[in-house]
Amino acid sequence: MDVLTLSRLQFAVTIGFHYIFPTLSIGLGLLLVIMEGIYLRTGKSLYHQMTRFWVKVFGLTFVLGVATGIVMEFEFGTNWATYSRYVGDVFGSALAAEGIFAFFLESGFLALLLFGWDKVSPRMHFLSTVCVALGAHFSAIWIVVANSWQQTPAGFHIVGEGITARAEVVDFWQVIFNPSFLDRISHVYIGCWQAGAFLVISISAYYLLKNRHIDFAKASLKIALGLAVVASVLQLVTGHSSAVGISKNQPVKLAAFEGHYEESAPADMYLFGWINEEKEEVSFGIRFPGMLSYILYGDSKRAVTGLRSVSPEDRPPVNITFQAYHFMVLIGFSLIFLSILGSFMFWRGKLVNNKLVLKILVASVLGPQIANQLGWMAAEVGRQPWIVYQLLRTSEGLSRVVHQEQVMVSLILFGVIYSLLFALFIFLLDRKIKHGPLEEEPTVTLHRAG
Amino acid sequence: MMLDLNTIWFVLVGILFTGYVVLDGFDLGIGALHLLTKTDEERRIMLNSIGPVWDGNEVWLVTGGGALFAAFPMVYATVLSGFYMAIMLLLISLIFRAVAIEFRSKEPMKWWRQMWDISFSIGSILSSFLIGIVLGNIIWGIPLDAEHEFVGTFSSLFHPYALLVGVMAVALFTMHGAIYGVLKTEGGINAKIRGWVNNTIIFFIICYVTTTMATLLYVPHMMEHIRNHPPLFGIALLNMLAIANIPREIHHAREFRAFLSSSASIVAFMALFGLGMFPDMVYSNPNPEFSLTLYTAASSQKTLSIILIFALIGMPLVIAYTVSIYWIFRGKVKLDLTSY
């Protein structure tokens, strides 16, 4: 494998593994705010117990996010030095802002969240929880700004030529609110909330199946199912809005999502399918004729720009993009169905005794995780061959001084270490779950000020 | 000297990295000393002395990296790609350090805790050493071509001067960590760490004197500004006085002042480093004409002014969080249910 393939693979491995954790920090962060908020309002020890248990789970996901996140901060420079020189003026500011506005807030108040129970008042502790959740949400803003700028660059001009060419900021607000930013940040946030909600749903359903910590599990489930329904339905809205945005800003990527080759013709949609990239066609699949045109424009006869509008070297790998996108959408719909079904049964009091649905809910934690990974795969592979859309090719962004053997060694190291960390994470999470929440003294209630 | 945006950012990036070495420096030092403690309780106290703060301390490095990328993308790109394997090893060491802190207390088995004790300690020592190697190479200068690309190799990073700075970084952080340990502990473990402090000071002073001599003899370009502007010698003097003050304060059992002295000496080191480099950011050796300066390596004036606004809004907040957290978690470490 050449340096380009190895570096892309390393980026995929390091970002893919990293992305498991911040999604959980963001989603669990929001749930912790809700749980501790209820505790502060009602003073019920159940919610205190709940907050403390989920804080422990949060702590575990957080540290893995930190440990694997530090790689991301430096990997642009190590493997993509030419890219870094090219975009530093624009892209670097977002990373700097992320550190200064998000990470300090998050890590500072995390200390109080984890260790401050007896050091500060309940209100102050709640404030820390809010700040940690805010910090986690802020960090997503800046990283999505940076990535969206790669997808739909705006607010810059190119200075210099050839090897010295680079993008410089002209309008900072256009850089931030580049055409895809709002669609993508909302899509990412909701994906994170789903990740957090379904983790809580899964663990709570497990307790119900095992007939343990029943009150704790039901109360956790109630909050998490509520968030899951809202998030899963909203995800359909942001997903649609993203697709419409992509049809305007990155038509070739959208064409790859649906395997739409004709340069300009009404476009179909597939429930699933398989692309033959050599023959440039969908070789089989279940097709809804004109559906893509209809969804984008409300008119099934309207033409949609296809892959043949650009020469083959400017097209992304179509089949991978197609599959990633389709499985993500499939999971998205399943999560809507599952969260509504779960909530309905919970409301009717029928969930606790339905082993089958509980088992499905235990497995549901994988849904948002896989969909999040697939969504990024579709977004990033679909952007190829560009590292900055229609400005700089991925192959042009590499570090010129880094050799194949070096990347091979670091890739193997990351592969081994991340596999180990993943196994340990699952092991520790499993132990934490089996151990369960600490039983609280019924006398532990909140001293309500005022 | 004009105080333009480039110079301001040179100083600000310096402040972020200085914040990192002062703060995470003692975390890494605690890690370096960790295996010298024997019982489980002692080791838990070591970990919990940095428990609430290590993560926030590491953010200074992450933010320093982001600020370097934003303000001086050429430096970010040249140094990180040039030092590829060294940076990868540093990142991996920091990963092991981080997860060891979190994972160790999760299981009671002896082998489990032993495994994470070793990861924590080796991760910390290796991180300190590699930070020193990187600094040593930046001071010495690295071979660049006309396009400011690194033309050395991985093994060329480990020349005697860089190794010396690497060992000195370990010594400095170990001393800094030992003083912090005395400050944060009580009882038997406190007496134990107190017993180590003098050894760490002696080890550090040997490294300090050797490195200073080597720098004076072999790295003359670092001395230019001080030679031309004698008042700047004050910083070197401050550095020496801060170091000399450490054993004195320890002797009088004034650990907090000793800790301030050791922090001041680190700040003075970073100031001397920045002063020696100025206006270069990556010194090209040989071929100084290929060096990256704070003008040739910088982003546009527009970007520098935008991120200056970020810094002006953000830094007071950062200082407020940092001070509050250290204040809330002041005093001796006590183990409780939430501890590692």
Residue A406 and residue B321: Cβ atoms within 8 Å? Answer: no
Cβ separation of B70 and A99 shorter than 8 Å? no
Tell me: the pLDDT tens digits for A191-243? 999 999 999 999 999 999 999 999 999 999 999 999 999 999 999 999 999 99
Q: Which two tokens stand for residue A335?
A: 């999560």
The CA distance from A170 to the nearest CA of chain B, in Å, is 8
How much is the average pLDDT of B294-317?
A: 93
pLDDT given at position A280: 85
Name residue, tokens 């183990």.
B335
* Of A339, A331, A291, A369, residue with least CA distance to A18: A369
Contacts of B63 in chain A (CB under 8 A): 96, 99-100, 103-104
Contact criterion met (CB < 8 Å) for B59 and A103? yes
pLDDT band at A118 (very low <50, low <70, confident <90, very high): confident
C-beta atoms of B69 and A99 within 8 A: no
Do B102 and B340 touch, CB atoms closer than 8 A? yes
Chain B contacts of A84, Cβ < 8 Å?
A: 69, 73, 76-77, 80
Whether residue A250 contacts residue A382, with contact meaning beta carbons closer than 8 Å, is answered with yes
Determine how many CB atoms are found less than 10 A away from the CB of residue B211.
Answer: 23
Nearest residue, CB atoms, B322 vs list A84, A108, A159: A108
Contacts of residue B94 in chain A, CB cutoff 8 Å?
Answer: 67, 70
In this structure, the strands spanning B292-293 and A269-276 are unpaired
Instruction: Give A 390-409 residues with CB within 8 A of chain B.
Output: 399-402, 406, 409
DSSP, res B231: G
Among residues A97, A109, A104, A99, which one has the least CA distance to residue A29? Answer: A109
Which residue from A57, A62, A64 is spatially nearest to A14, judged by alpha carbons?
Answer: A64
Contact list in A for residue B84 (CB cut-off 8 A) is: 78, 399, 401-402, 406, 410
Residue among A208, A222, A221, A200 nearest A352 (CA)? A208
Q: Please say whether the beta carbons of A388 and A229 come within 8 A.
A: no
Q: Which residue has the tokens 């969804």?
A: A295
Least CB–CB distance from B102: residue in A60, A88, A401 = A60
> Per the CB < 8 Å rule, is A91 touching B69?
yes
Residue of B nearest to A415 (CA): B92
From chain B, the residues in CB contact with A59 under 8 A are: 102
Quote the CA–CA distance of B81 and B77 in Å, as a whole number: 6
- Angstroms from A434 CA to nearest CA on chain B: 13
- Asked if A337 has any chain B CB less than 8 Å from its own CB, the reply is no
pLDDT for the residue numbered A441: 53
Q: Which of B79, B300, B324 sits opposite A89 (nearest CB)?
A: B300
Between CA B51 and CA B45 the distance in angstroms is 9
Q: Tell me: the pLDDT tens digits for B148-183?
A: 999 999 999 999 999 999 999 999 999 999 999 999
Q: Does A422 touch chain B (CB under 8 A)?
A: no
Cβ-nearest to A84 among B77, B103, B318: B77
Q: What is the mean pLDDT of chain B?
A: 93
- A59–B55: do the CB atoms touch at under 8 Å? no
Alpha carbons A291 and A31: distance in angstroms, whole number: 37
B203 neighbors B211 (Cβ within 8 angstroms): no
Identify the band that residue A448 occupies on the pLDDT scale cut at 50, 70 and 90: very low
Q: What is the mean predicted confidence (pLDDT) over B312-320?
A: 92
CA of B82: which chain A residue's CA is closest? A401
For A44, A369, A434, the CA distances from A448, given in Å and listed in that order, are: 11, 39, 33
Task: Look up the pTM and report it.
Answer: 0.93
Residue B339 — pLDDT band, cuts 50, 70, 90?
Answer: confident
Residue A344 is which amino acid? F
Q: What stretch of H or E contains A282?
A: strand A281-288
Q: Is B13 a residue whose pLDDT tops 90?
A: yes
> pLDDT tens-digit profile of A140-163?
999 999 999 999 999 999 998 877
